[in-house]
Chains A and B, each alone.
Chain A
Amino acid sequence: MAIVPEFLIKRIYQKGSLQKFETGARLVLKNVLGPGLISGFNYVKINDVIFEPQDVRFITNGREYTGVDVNEENPIVFRLGQFGTLIMSGKDCICDGVNTIEIEAMNPEAGKVRLSVQDTAAEPA
């Protein structure tokens, strides 16, 4: 477990960005920690629903990646200040009221980085 304090990791999640989307959900991340690479999405869990890498897409800097495409050999550049939209599909997961979101991603230097936040879902635009 890398020693990146939880409260710092939480800053990556854009509060209020969770939305129901198609048969799943989407949310927005912003890199506020420092320049870096994402070298994998292990899973995204919203409430009790787990999305495996194949059910996760990440759109950033005009490009779309699926979770299975991202690995140590093919990391995503996620620059300081850069936004990215994470889309989870195939399963209903959003509930009324407060939702629990857990994202576990990989960074080549820090190893596993786990983000756990709670948020209410916004109405789809």
Chain B
Amino acid sequence: MDISFDKYSLIIDGKRIFIKSGAFHYFRTPGEKMARDRFLKMKAGGYNTVDMYFNWNYHSEAPGQYDFSGIKDVRKVLKAAKDAGLFVIARPGPFINAEVNAGGLPFWLLRMEDVIPRNRIGTEYKYSPKYMEYIGEWYDNIIPIIREFDNVILFQIENEYATDTMEEDYMRQLYNMARERGITCPIFHNDAYFAGLWADCVDIYALDLYPYINPNQNWKQDNFCFDTLDNVEEIFRGAKEDSPPFIAEMQSGWFDKWDGMGYKHIRSALGDEHINIMTKTALSQGVTLFNHYMAVGGTNWADLACDEVYTSYEFAAPIDEFGVMQSNFFKSKELNYFLDSFDFTKTEPKDFDFFQENIYAKLRADLTNDCDWLFLRNMNSQHSEVKLPNGKNVLLRPYEMKICPINLRLKGCEIEFSDAEIFARLQNNNEEVLFILSDKNSNIYLKDGKAISADKKDFERLSFETDGKKTEFVFLTKQMADKTWLLGDKIIFNADYVLPNGAIALEKNQEVAYFDLKHKFSKKNFIVNEFKSIKKPELLKISAVDFCSPEIDADYDYSRWSKIAGKTDSLSCELYDEFVWYKAKIPQTLTEITLSARHLFAIYINGKEVLNRNSYKIEKLQEVPETISIPLDKKVLTKKVNELTILVQNLGFDKGFSGDTNNPRGLVEFETTPETEIEFYTCQKLAPERTKNYKSENPYLTKLTVNFDCELKENVFLAKYISFEDFNCRRATIFLNGVKIGRYIKRTHVQDKFYLINEFLKPHNTLDIIVWEKDRNIKSSWGFKSDIKNVKILLATFKMYQIFK
């Protein structure tokens, strides 16, 4: 594939292509089957490109060891993208951020001597040859796979990188390393500061834009939040005049944090208006490559998450974590279909003398279609009537943005001006049909003086003919447009979704209509007989309750654990799992222990809890370290030699954007009073993950086992979850068929529903839920065991579609 570019757009095999991309994390949506499902849905929504980070850490457990097998087989993911007809933007880092553990840098790398991750300490540049050597190893492994796919059109080096002095050696070397390994497509970097950074080191300058990053704020009130986007063309031209405007990450959602407000809030706060404004404003600024970040939400299963984020990485994305299309998907589909209708790859800004308070207006000359497009946005909280210099008035709803054609020549008529928006277009040489969104406030003004109200019902039609060529307008309400799907030269109405392979997905019995220029309208009835309705949530029966922390029991044999020689933190001990155990003998003479541990931890002495604490705290984007002292006396230290057990839950390493990826985790500090040398032994993972002999006497960690069946059919898409809405335990780690799929922390209130990731679902399933409880909530072992059998865990189906192929 020949890929070039000019100041307007990317040119692929000699043809200008508008890049409508969406971000997808294969590691958060594991397995080929799920990737295929999401890619087909993206394609159905009009995206032509998928953006993929390649997560170094996900593939490499040790230097020189790389795993691209099973669900980590990125070849299968790339093949799925190709089969879905999507181009790929490849972003293999080495650093990716993405709110993944350590920003995607392998854990082993973080502890290497002479390695300075990202060649910087804080904001100071510090070149590390050893770091570059290991990047070479990663590139040697990932680039040959990427190169196998000719649909990879862009390649990113590093991510959101900056230093105080901006030495270029690192970026230039990364560029050369990619080229030396055979990358031939344009190379870019993603500038988080929209300041033209690294523009001279890459082929195409790109930036990321997130106007809404604080869920406590209301972007609708802070209407200045689009200031940068409203001037982005100037930034692009200033940075690199001859490369096309490329927003490598354009906000289509946002991530939530442990101390956040939940995805329901973020989705509702963004609404559909935000993605509409983002995308249309980008078009108004001449952007011809955009990447909705994210297009597809995912799950932080296993230990994928950095410390900031919880299990769900739903991101309020157009396709949610469950693979279900949400309302911003339908808005983005409208925009993508519009961009398929008119070639927007070569436009220029045009003077437009206009001012109205809180109204953004931008005019562009379309050099391909020989018309103009007027972009209008209302940032007022009320309807606003925009009085245009051409005498036309446009009524915009609050936070609405429209693209209005001016002097648009069609086959059978010419639009002088329209504030009714075009949804899609089908055409051949002599004939075309424009599908137009019905809107009682909008009109289409034709050149011959005719004004047509867009206040129309579904499928109302108007025809025009000039010189034997025909144009037909077919009106669609927003509701119908959401259920309307472009499929090549065909359009299908009234389906929940239609995949590019022609498969139709329906939730209920439906009459589906088809239209193409040759056969016009036809209809077909589909009977959804597999399921009448989604079953109500089902209360799961707990089949077994087992205490499962033998490590805490007195006289537990830990002689085979690793003895710690120096520092106790998890990097120093090469223990990267979420759970790390420490055991030691301590004398009765101690009066105090002082420690710092990240993030959640508990201390047990002689099998009895002394402290159970959540020390996770982030302020101003920085971790707030906590050191805590615990007084000891003979009531606690009952023996001459006492057994100390510490369990630390590491919620993830820093993602490395504003902090350091190698900030220590686990037991970071440990001191005693009086000062005494303590010999620690350590191991990682919870006992049921390590051994079959996990049963214990103490009740601090308890494994609940639940079995359930799931009917999996080829022609049914389903999304299932378990709900902890009425769960009364503090913390839990959830395993589906042995795979860790979630972390529950009651206090945070951010997540109580956990996606049962389709890749790991089987016809017969076992859920293991390991509860970590505080001593004060356990009155007696017997009573606790009896009570916990009655906790409520619900199994529910979020969505179910029958697929007709």
Contact = CB atoms under 8 A, between A and B. Distances in A.
Interface of A: 1-8, 33-35, 77, 79-81, 106, 108-112
28 contacts: A1-B658, A2-B620, A3-B122, A3-B123, A3-B162, A4-B123, A4-B162, A4-B193, A5-B162, A7-B164, A7-B166, A33-B193, A34-B227, A34-B228, A35-B222, A35-B225, A35-B226, A77-B222, A79-B227, A80-B224, A80-B227, A80-B231, A108-B214, A108-B217, A109-B213, A109-B214, A111-B620, A112-B620
Q: Which 3 A-B pairs have the closest CB atoms?
A: A111-B620, A80-B227, A35-B227
Given A8-B195, A77-B224, 13 more contacts: A3-B162, A4-B162, A6-B164, A7-B164, A8-B162, A8-B193, A33-B195, A34-B228, A80-B231, A108-B217, A110-B621, A111-B620, A111-B658
Given A35-B226, A106-B620, A5 B658 contact: no
Contacts of B225: 35
A5 B166 contact: yes
B165 interface: yes
B170 to A, nearest CB: 14
Interface in B96-140: 122-123
Contacts of B165: 7
A108 to B, nearest CB: 6
Nearest to B211: A35
Interface of B: 122-123, 162-166, 193-195, 211, 213-214, 217, 222, 224-228, 231, 619-622, 657-658
A12 B90 CA distance: 35
A77 to B, nearest CB: 6
A2 B658 CA distance: 5
Nearest to A107: B620
A1 B217 CA distance: 22
Contacts of A5: 123, 162-164, 166, 193
Contact of A35 (B163, B228, B620): B228
B163 A111 contact: no
B228 A80 contact: yes
Nearest to A111: B620
Contacts of A3: 122-123, 162, 657-658
Contacts of B622: 1, 111
B195 A111 contact: no
A112 B659 CA distance: 13
A2 B623 CA distance: 12
B227 A81 contact: yes
B118 to A, nearest CB: 10
Contacts of A6: 123, 164
Nearest to A35: B227
A6 B165 CA distance: 8
A91 to B, nearest CB: 28
A83 B222 CA distance: 18
B420 to A, nearest CB: 32
Nearest to A80: B227
A2 to B, nearest CB: 5
A35 B226 CA distance: 7
Contacts of B211: 35
A70 B192 CA distance: 26
Which among A6, A35, A81, A110 has the greatest number of chain B C-beta atoms within 10 A? A35
A14 B574 CA distance: 49
Nearest to B619: A111
A3 B217 CA distance: 22
B163 to A, nearest CB: 6
Contacts of A33: 193, 195
A49 B197 CA distance: 34
Contacts of A2: 620-621, 658
B621 A35 contact: no
A58 B76 CA distance: 57
A53 to B, nearest CB: 16
Nearest to A77: B224
Nearest to B622: A111
B165 to A, nearest CB: 7
A43 to B, nearest CB: 16
Contacts of A106: 620
Contacts of A34: 193-194, 227-228
Nearest to A112: B620
Nearest to A75: B217
B381 to A, nearest CB: 16
Which among B213, B217, B224, B228 has the greatest number of chain A C-beta atoms within 10 A? B224
Contacts of A8: 162, 193, 195
Contacts of B226: 35
A7 B163 CA distance: 9
A109 B621 contact: yes
Contacts of B231: 80
Contacts of A112: 620
Contacts of A77: 222, 224
Contacts of B163: 5
Given A1-B622, A7-B164, A80-B227, A110 B195 contact: no
Contacts of A81: 227
Nearest to A40: B620
A7 B162 CA distance: 10
Contact of A79 (B162, B194, B224, B620): B224
Contacts of A79: 224, 227
Contacts of A1: 122-123, 622, 658
Contact of A110 (B166, B224, B227, B658): B658
A33 B657 CA distance: 18
A17 B264 CA distance: 47
Nearest to B221: A77
Nearest to B192: A3
A2 B621 CA distance: 7
A8 B621 CA distance: 19
Contacts of B213: 109
Nearest to B216: A108
Contact of B224 (A4, A35, A109, A111): A35
Nearest to A81: B227
B257 to A, nearest CB: 12
Nearest to B213: A109
Contacts of B123: 1, 3-6
B621 A111 contact: yes
Nearest to B160: A3
A35 B214 CA distance: 13
A108 B215 CA distance: 11
A124 to B, nearest CB: 32
A3 B122 CA distance: 7
A77 B218 CA distance: 13
Contacts of B162: 3-5, 8
A1 B657 CA distance: 10
A3 B222 CA distance: 24
Nearest to B230: A80
A35 B657 CA distance: 19
Nearest to A1: B122
A35 B123 CA distance: 22
A2 B122 CA distance: 8
Contacts of B193: 4-5, 8, 33-34
Contacts of A110: 621, 658
A4 B123 CA distance: 8
